[in-house]
Amino acid sequence: MILEGIVTTLGPDGTLNVAPMGPIVPDDGSLDSFVLRPFRTAQTYRNLTAYPEGVLHITDDVLLLARAAVGTLEELPPTIPAEVIRGRILADCCRFFEFRITSRDDSAERSRLLATVVRSGRVRDFFGLNRAMSAVVEAAILATRLHLLPREEIEAEYRKLAVIVDKTGGPRERDAFALLRAYVSGEPAG
């Protein structure tokens, strides 16, 4: 199963990278290990190659996820130091999993990195799901696939997702979707 989350890694110079990522996790919900599949051109991949540690976060902050997906984080979110690995934990996440990469397969366009969890914790309760949050996650994934999918197909999906966000979203979901829609259309975000 793929679980959408946010991965933080540190570059060799200590620069924090915040990236949405959907690791493959066991179907039973255990998170002792998982597989990350970053493109080999991604900063997350470069960071994990230089220093194979990071933190996977489970969050309900779809605005953060949207901003990270399209590279519009004007300010990095507040973080606290990880305890076991060289890394940073998002201060407002729901759950986190400090990990080390224990094996790597670079034989495909997307690398397969086996991550072993060395520490996990809970910061706050998960707020819950609404359809708009799920729609924003889908829109963020589509925004990162502009180089892979026809633009018309992405725009058609956005029209469908807009109805869900308009009907069921709050201000953060609407802001996140507007940001993503502007990115996909090539317009400046409002």
What digits encode the pLDDT tens for the residues 127-169? 887 999 999 999 999 999 998 899 999 999 999 999 999 999 9
Count of C-beta atoms within a 10 Å radius of residue 84: 14
Q: Which residue type does 147 have?
A: H
pTM of the model: 0.88
- Burial (CB < 10 A; 0-12, 13-18, 19+), residue 83, is exposed
Domain range 131-185, CATH architecture: Up-down Bundle (1.20)
| Beta carbons of 39 and 109 less than 8 angstroms apart | yes
The CA distance from 118 to 53, in Å, is: 10
Question: Which one-letter DSSP state was computed for residue 187?
Answer: P
Placement of tokens 């924003």 in the chain: 136
For CATH 2.30.110.10, list the domain ranges present in the chain. Answer: 5-122
Tokens standing for 46?
């470069």
pLDDT of residue 57: 98
Tell me yes or no: is domain 5-122 CATH 2.30.110.10: yes
For CATH 1.20.58.290, list the domain ranges present in the chain. Answer: 131-185
How does pLDDT run across 17-56, given as a tens digit for each residue? 999 999 999 998 789 999 999 999 999 999 999 999 999 9
- Name 163's Cβ contacts closer than 8 Å, sequence gap at least 6: none
